[in-house]
Amino acid sequence: MTLSKEGFRSITGMTGPLVFVSGISDAGYGELVTIESPEGRRLGQVLQIDKDITTVQVFDGTMGLDTGNCTVWLERDVVRMPLGNGLIGRVMNGRGESLDGEALSFVEDILPVTGMPINPYMRESPNAYIETGISTIDMMNTLVRGQKLPVFSGAGLPANRMAAQIVRQATIPGRETSFLVVFAAMGITRREAQFFMDIFNETGAVNNGVFFVNLASDSAVERLLTPRMALTAAEYFAFVKGYDVLVILTDMLHYCESLREIGAAREEVPGRRGYPGYMYSDLSEIYERAGCVRGSVGSVTQIPIITMPDDDMTHPVVDLSGYITEGQIVLDRGIHDRVGYPPVNVLPSLSRLMNKGIGRKRTFESHRALADQLYASYAKAKELEKLRLIVGDDGLTDTEKDYLRFGDAFERKFVNQGDTRRSLAESERISWECFRELPRKELYRLPEHYISRFWRSEGTRS
Amino acid sequence: MTEGIILGISGPVVTVRSNAPVRMFEIAYVGNAHLLGEVIRIRRDQVDIQVYEDTNGVRSGEGCAFTGELLAVDLGPGILGSVLDGIGRPLKKLGEDGIFIRRGIHTGLLSHVQEMPFVPSVRVGDALRPGSFIGCSREGSHVEHRIMVPPFSRGGIVEYIAPEGRYALDRTICRVSDGEEYALSQKWRVRVPRPVQERLPLDRPLITGQRVLDTLFPLALGGAAVLPGGFGTGKTVTQQSLAKWCDADIIVYIGCGERGNEMTEVLEEFPELSDPWHDAPLMERLVLIANTSNMPVAAREASIYLGMTIAEYYRDMGYNVAIMADSTSRWAEALREIGGRLEEMPGEEGYPAYLGSRLAQYYERAGRVRALGEPDRSGSVTVINAVSPAGGDFSEPVTQASLRLSGAFWGLDKRLAQQRHFPAINWSQSFSLYEEILDPVFSKEIGPRRDELKQYLRAMLDNDRRLVELVQLVGRDGLSEEDKWILLMAELIRIVYLQQNAFSDADASCSTRKQFEILDILKRLDDVVRKRIFDGVVFEEIAEIPFLGDLLRIREFSETDFGAEASRWLNDQMNRVSGLAVMPK
């Protein structure tokens, strides 16, 4: 049976991006509608059904719509994303429409963008090491295939540059194929978008990626669809086509602001800082769409970028993201100003899945111990720096001064690597260069046989 | 049958007009997809239902069928080792349909066609009371599953009892005089606490195997502990360590609104684990409830009651059960989200005003009890709940409400976590109300020196804090030689004793005996060195000795070898220290 489309000329009110329609007796939750006005057609989605009143969010905004001359057509379907190999290399707007003028005519499958939760029982633990070529990540906060590891950045810090560097350099040792990149830009400026596209052009990722671009000037409602479009594509290529997919989501703060904008228009009870109470659930519907699953060779690895307003890690968007994602790479203004690039502050950074990707057979046996030692020594150096501010150099013991030298070497040599790509062996070598500043007995987290392999007496105190 | 028509949909909340009165918390099947839901508000003929599945694509005008039943779960042999979603559906079964969870699939916790072994323990003519054992089944290779007369039944004289054999779960295996029949499985409403004979005092410890907890902040069997911490402070690792190594018989682990990969980790790691206290490997003593953050929010709300009901069921068999929920905050957020959809008046930080009372309903189901019926037996449910305070701020409502209801507060500290001090339990902020009752129990087992060592530990941690403050004022040169040593000694204690390596085979769990021995060796080292400092040895000489590396190395020795190894090491150090030159006074 085919249903002819039903139209309603009964818009009763509008506010912000929302349109209220009365008289629809069988509206579908989350389904698409088309709003036809004398000026053209706009797409919207049913956001709430409350007896006689159906609330619709309009992707293109409500400006110019009126209550008398518009018809609301029910499309009788949820929002879907056309999928197929032909998607690779294409640039689309935030709702999956082609931006390069050609229609998307390759469709092999068409799936709802909300996706479905992955059955936790059907997941496989991520356990393959990804080499990003960045010391602070590979050595101390290892990224693992199938992980979701965000970059927390302050405004103006080079998070994009770092994300681009990861896209350029990331490889899975032992695997021939490189990553398929799925890129979702949400509310970023034209300049930032251009920066990424230039990098993608330069590295050839442009032919091996799928790109969704929602600019700052584009619709805020559309921004809510963008990551879902991107992840639907990512899941398809990973779990149906068997690709290792690397998803870059930038910037999740803008996404959450859109969420807040809609919430405010609906007059919902706000949570912290005006963000809606369901933001945790909403964000997890995005971040949890990563991982490895049984019976599929592909994987979805996510690197969301989140700007911390005022460098505040307790900001709700950053905080909730940290609770869902599997660690975080934190960029730090102090290190940016004082040390260089990439400005990773390793102390608050963390990779929860690191242990699964490292060690014997994966990287090297003492990887964990070396990372722990770097952490412990650097944390102590930073504590002592604070102490020095109070008591001065004279108040410190010789060993403590060694720690300060270690901290300095660590930042200067290990952290500050610039745009170069470092193999893990190089990162290891540089770690030992830094350790040379410390007395041997301070390396208490390293096994003896490992120390003796790297410890050289020249130029060091025993 | 009572039916309704869908009027409104807002996220997980669906409003229905019903044609007859319905009950609060009654189960309903919503829409053409038959999504499972539960009645949470009634206003005249309008009924609000929280739906346990995604409501996208459900339309107003579709139907709704009310069942008259409340949310209940099957209890019986076969629960252990299973992985369930928040409303008790086995995820393994759902996984047969593919990697994603589809909607509208209804499958019970237990498979009723599967036959389980049964050995009767009563005879015709015996009297049965509610809660009495009828016989015994078996789960996995080691766990005895006692079959009990359901609470709230009448009991009576046994007229028929099935002989030893294998039976389907719903087949009658026992009938009593007035016609009541019992099977291997029974149903229980998850929101209703299972009744007990009597509540017992909380005077026995749950050994966690974590030094900082067992020594400083012990937990009682039947008690409740909360584990709050911002992200990255190691809540999950700590809670998993507790699940792996605590001496409870049965573990119920609830992943409540947390990460999918963490559940996978549990599934991949736990089956391989066995510990000194139990015959059965962990996976055969464990139920995992995995309602991850992206699964429907209403099922998250139900998941903790499901877990608690299973815990109480095994408690009634006479087991000590530990139930761990990670995390309470996600559960509270589910309440907040649903409350928001119902447009309820919000309380603090948008949480519903009934947050405290709902939490209490959960925490108060913990306890050590005498179970109903024969034989006389006791069991316990111990609660260990993680809390994820927004921004790591412990003054937020969920942490505060949990704090009021629990007896042990294990606060995780971001600063410690950043120094990679794990478990990152802040020793000046945490407390345990069970300490006074349990300390004598520990001392009785280990010896009176434990009290002395514990006081020493507390004193050293206090000295550490005081001296660090002092150093920041006057610099290290202002300290006496002894104080300089105390600072170093305190650091040794922090790293060797309070830190514990969850990823080391030898150190992940530490018996109370070995805990005592490590502390003992530290105290004796301190005595030796202090004596030499009194004699006039300068601190700088002592600081050159690599105590820390040595101690971390011998910490890795097994419980049996540790004592001898540590004594030998201490002797070496004594010789070494006594060889140091004394500065002329």
B423 lies in the same domain as B352: yes
Q: Give Cβ neighbours of residue A455 (< 8 Å, ≥ 6 apart).
A: A440
| Orientation angle between helical segments B297-316 and B328-341, nearest 10 degrees | 130
A241: contact with B, CB 8 A cutoff: no
Find where tokens 């978008």 sit.
Answer: A193
Any domain includes B81: no
B336 lies in the same domain as B453: no
Nearest by CB: A28 against B58, B350, B503: B58
Average pLDDT, rounded, for chain B: 92
Find where tokens 């990152």 sit.
Answer: B424
What CATH number corresponds to the domain at position B502? 1.10.1140.10
CB contact under 8 A, B471 and A391: yes
B9: contact with A, CB 8 A cutoff: yes
Residue A181, strand partner residues:
A209, A246
Average pLDDT, rounded, for chain A: 91
Report pLDDT for A260.
Answer: 95
Distance from CA of B61 to the nearest CA of A (A): 5
B232: contact with A, CB 8 A cutoff: yes
What CATH number corresponds to the domain at position B303? 3.40.50.300
Distance from CA of B370 to the nearest CA of A (A): 36
CB contact under 8 A, B261 and A295: no
Give pLDDT tens digits for A94-104.
Answer: 988 888 777 77
What CATH number corresponds to the domain at position B58? 2.40.30.20
B10: contact with A, CB 8 A cutoff: yes
CB contact under 8 A, A118 and B260: yes
Q: Which of residues 339-368 of B touch A (CB under 8 A)?
A: 340, 343, 346, 349-350
- Which residues from B are below 8 Å from A276, CB to CB? 340
Domain range for B451 is 447-578
Please state, in angstroms and rounded to a whole number, the distance separating the CA atoms of residues A455 and A440: 8
Report pLDDT for B280.
Answer: 78
CB contact under 8 A, B232 and A322: yes
B232-251 core/surface letters (b: 16 or more CB in 10 A; e: else): bbbbbbbbbbbbbbbbbbbb
A282: contact with B, CB 8 A cutoff: no
ipTM: 0.89
CB contact under 8 A, A121 and B549: no
Distance from CA of B444 to the nearest CA of A (A): 36
Query: Which segment of A1-10, A25-34, A126-135, A187-196 scores lowest on mean pLDDT?
Result: A1-10
B308 lies in the same domain as B382: yes
B349 lies in the same domain as B475: no
Nearest by CB: B99 against A24, A118, A444: A118
B336 lies in the same domain as B240: yes
Any domain includes B229: yes
CB contact under 8 A, B340 and A268: yes
Report pLDDT for A3.
Answer: 53
A116: contact with B, CB 8 A cutoff: yes
Specify the pTM. Answer: 0.93
Task: Check whether B541 has a pLDDT greater than 60.
Answer: yes
- Which residues from A are below 8 Å from B397, CB to CB? none
Structure tokens at B164: 């030893």
Nearest by CB: A271 against B9, B62, B350: B350
Report pLDDT for A4.
Answer: 62
What CATH number corresponds to the domain at position B146? 2.40.50.100
- Which residues from B are below 8 Å from A350, CB to CB? 232
Report pLDDT for B585.
Answer: 58
Task: Check whether A457 has a pLDDT greater than 70.
Answer: no
Strands (E), B222-273: 224-228, 250-256
Any domain includes B75: no
Sheet holding B172-176, edge to edge: B127-128, B156-161, B172-176, B181-183
Give pLDDT tens digits for A207-231.
Answer: 899 999 999 999 888 999 999 999 9
CB contact under 8 A, B259 and A289: no
Any domain includes B585: no
Compare A456 and B5 and report the one with higher pLDDT.
Answer: B5
Q: Of B541, B478, B476, whose CA–CA distance to A393 is shortest?
A: B476
Determine phi and psi for B376, rounding to 5 degrees.
-65, 125
B143 lies in the same domain as B225: no
CB contact under 8 A, A50 and B57: no
Tally of structural domains, chain B: 4
Task: Report residue B197's pLDDT band, with 50, 70 and 90 as the boundaries.
Answer: very high
Task: Check whether B338 has a pLDDT greater than 80.
Answer: yes
B22 lies in the same domain as B65: yes
Any domain includes B15: yes
Looking at B55, B70, B85, which one is the last position of a domain? B70
Distance from CA of B57 to the nearest CA of A (A): 5
Please state, in angstroms and rounded to a whole number, the distance separating the CA atoms of residues A63 and B340: 29
Any domain includes B65: yes
- Of the residues A52, A78, A122, A356, the best mutation for testing chain B's interface (the one with the most B CB atoms within 10 Å of its CB) is A122
In total, the C-beta contacts within 8 angstroms joining chain A to chain B are: 227
Give pLDDT tens digits for B112-129.
Answer: 888 999 999 999 999 999
Query: Which segment of B184-193, B217-226, B459-468, B500-509 scores lowest on mean pLDDT?
Result: B500-509
CB contact under 8 A, B61 and A25: yes
3-state SS track over B360-371:
HHHHCCCEEEEC
Any domain includes B28: yes
Determine phi and psi for B477, rounding to 5 degrees.
-65, -20
CA angle A311, A247, B11 (to 5 degrees): 80
CB contact under 8 A, B476 and A395: yes
- Which residues from B are below 8 Å from A239, CB to CB? 99
Task: Check whether B350 has a pLDDT greater than 90.
Answer: no
| Mean pLDDT value across residues B313-337 | 94
Report pLDDT for A396.
Answer: 85
Looking at B42, B70, B98, which one is the last position of a domain? B70
Query: Does residue A185 sit in helix, strand or coil?
Result: strand
Report pLDDT for B492.
Answer: 95
Element (H, E) at A427: helix A424-435
- Which residues from A are below 8 Å from B54, CB to CB? 114, 116
CA of residue B466 relative to chain centroid, distance: 35
Report pLDDT for A458.
Answer: 47
Please state, in angstroms and rounded to a whole number, the distance separating the CA atoms of residues A304 and A352: 16
- Which residues from A are below 8 Å from B418, CB to CB? 347-348, 379
Where are the alpha helices (H) located in B419-546, listed in sequence order?
435-446, 449-474, 481-492, 512-535, 539-543
Determine phi and psi for B315, rounding to 5 degrees.
-60, -45
Q: Of B102, B78, B105, B113, whose CA–CA distance to B89 is shortest?
A: B105
Please state, in angstroms and rounded to a whole number, the distance separating the CA atoms of residues B85 and B563: 46
**Full set of structural domains in chain A with CATH:** 7-77 (2.40.30.20), 81-355 (3.40.50.12240), 367-454 (no CATH)
Please state, in angstroms and rounded to a whole number, the distance separating the CA atoms of residues B351 and B335: 7
Hey, what amino acid is at A235? E
B333: contact with A, CB 8 A cutoff: yes
B297 lies in the same domain as B423: yes
Report pLDDT for B189.
Answer: 95
B469: contact with A, CB 8 A cutoff: no
A123: contact with B, CB 8 A cutoff: yes
Q: Which of residues 423-462 of B touch A (CB under 8 A)?
A: none
B492 lies in the same domain as B541: yes
CB contact under 8 A, A284 and B292: yes
CB contact under 8 A, A395 and B259: no
**In this prediction, what percent of chain A has a pLDDT beyond 90?**
75
| Mean pLDDT value across residues B549-570 | 92
Report pLDDT for A461.
Answer: 45
B63 lies in the same domain as B146: no
Report pLDDT for B424.
Answer: 95
Any domain includes B437: no
Tell me, what DSSP letter sits at residue A307? E
B202 lies in the same domain as B310: yes
- Of the residues B30, B60, B552, the best mutation for testing chain A's interface (the one with the most A CB atoms within 10 Å of its CB) is B60
B351 lies in the same domain as B464: no
CB contact under 8 A, B419 and A353: no
- Which residues from B are below 8 Å from A285, CB to CB? 294
Report pLDDT for A1.
Answer: 40
Report pLDDT for A459.
Answer: 46
Task: Check whether A116 has a pLDDT greater than 50.
Answer: yes
| Mean pLDDT value across residues B265-285 | 80
Looking at B428, B455, B478, which one is the last position of a domain? B428
- Which residues from A are below 8 Å from B392, CB to CB? 314
Report pLDDT for B489.
Answer: 96
